[in-house]
Amino acid sequence: MSKIKGKILIIDDNEGILKSLSFVLGQEFDEIITIKSPSKFTSLLQSGSFDVILLDMNFTAGTNTGNEGIFWLREIMRSDKNAIVILITAYGDIELAVKTMKEGATDFIQKPFDPIKLISTVKAAFQLRQSKLKVSKLEQTKKVLSEDLNKNFTTLIGKSPALMNVLETVRKVAPTDANVLILGENGTGKELIAREIHRQSHRANEVFISVDLGSISETLFESELFGHRKGAFTDAKEDRIGRFETASGGTLFLDEIGNIPVSLQSKLLTVLQNRLIIPVGSSKQFEIDVRLISATNKSLPNMIKSNLFREDLMFRINTVQIEIPPLRERGDDIILLAEHFIKIYSKKYDKPEIKINTNAIDRLLKYDWPGNVRELQHMMENAVIMADGFTIKPENLQFTTRIANESPIKTKSLNLNDIEKETIKEALLKHKGNIFKTAEELGITRKTLYNKIEKYEL
């Protein structure tokens, strides 16, 4: 008969009791740890949690008040609110038993032990622990999912050949568990495609967890993705499961994966290779089962050449690659999307039957859409608000850059170097010299941008 994969801690100052409990419980559970002094349990809890803790009530010779046990029970519960503690005593004091239950104890056993009753009690406690952990995970998952509900997700709308090609690839890859890398400019709908892959997969009834890696600081990277134990660092006031564990069984979407610092890429690679995570402040490994989808607007091959991204990590996340076309290449999809957003915002702002006239449509089709679908959505919301009457006209459209037939290049030269120089100069002016934002908009690395600034003496 296989043993239960449980970790049991026994704390008692009596060597004979430790050996006896260890022998009986060792036949049922695969890991038994014993210590004589409760003062050592703090370091043990930091290295990993226990499924059940058996704690003696008295550690000082001649003492039978149970106060020592209650003190250490409080310490354990303070360290882990989901801890399962069974108190051990040689004194059948019902009043004391009731007191310990109010302090958080799960059960109470007496010396000498009845082996059958002991095993039954510990097994019941073990099941309670699993239930508590499951509830805790569900609560944290609910919190993550509720954050997602506050985001605005656009429906996949369009009939253009460019979009149809993408959706055909989605149809083929979704039923598999292959890792997918989604490429595309900002605002093209990379997360929408990731969600569509999940919706069509065999994991559709499980969770979809999205992580914006561009918004996670380097110091919180491991905690956010892999979780942490209480006390692992200054602000770690309670145990927290990471996004990998939250997404286990479902799909994990890592957006802006090109923003991960090189120093942390090896840790992510190790997790993807071994399918194991170790929370910060713990030594215990946890198996994870996620379908990984990643996305970036950066050129990973160029980043690899500049030593900004690991080649082995790119191969790991890139079993199938999907490139999302920019809005300017989707033709009449622009009109379909514009009308879709107008309906949404007409209802939101109580302006029914608003339409967009042909002159305004013509301007939409001529525009280059540097912000893609996201920019179109924001523009339509603004246009609905600003429109007089029931028609959106050209003057209601607020473009962030020039329309296609109004060239942003302030030179008549067709020399590629001249065009590149002026483009970089305009981008620098737009972002007030911010190298990071300029490089991001140009779709190049910061190192490449520095080289071009030096080349053109900008």
Domain that holds residue 271: 156-323
- Domain CATH number, residue 347: 1.10.8.60
pLDDT at res. 408: 45
pLDDT at 407 over 50: no
Shared domain for 183 and 254, answered yes or no, is yes
pLDDT at position 409 = 41
CATH at 431: 1.10.10.60
Contact criterion met (CB below 8 Å) for 340 and 155: yes
Indicate the residue among 323, 342, 369 that finishes a domain: 323
Same domain, 203 and 258: yes
The residue-averaged pLDDT of 263-269 equals: 92
Q: 343 CB contacts (<8 Å, ≥6 apart)?
A: none
The reply to whether 308 and 355 lie within a common domain is: no
The CA distances from residue 403 to 220, 392, 407, in Å, are: 42, 18, 7
> Is 117 in the same domain as 176?
no
Residue 24, Cβ density class (10 Å: 0-12 exposed, 13-18 middle, ≥19 buried): middle
* Residues 62 and 176 reside in one and the same domain: no
* 312 and 166 fall within a common domain: yes
* Cα angle 283, 286, 291; round to 5: 140
Note whether 220 and 318 are same-domain residues. Answer: yes
Per-residue pLDDT band for 153 (boundaries 50, 70, 90) equals low
Pairwise pLDDT comparison (368 vs 447), residue with the higher score: 368
**Tens-place pLDDT, residues 48-104:** 678 999 998 887 765 667 788 888 888 888 878 888 999 887 766 667 777 888 888
* Radius of gyration of the chain, Cα coordinates, nearest whole angstrom: 30
Is it the case that residue 1 has pLDDT exceeding 90? Answer: no
Asked if residue 401 belongs to a domain, the reply is: no
Please give the pLDDT value at position 140: 72
Per the domain annotation, does 142 fall within a domain?
no
Instruction: Write down which residue in 296, 323, 350 finishes a domain.
Output: 323
Domain count, the chain: 4
Answer whether residue 458 shows pLDDT above 60: yes
Residues 289 and 163 in one domain: yes
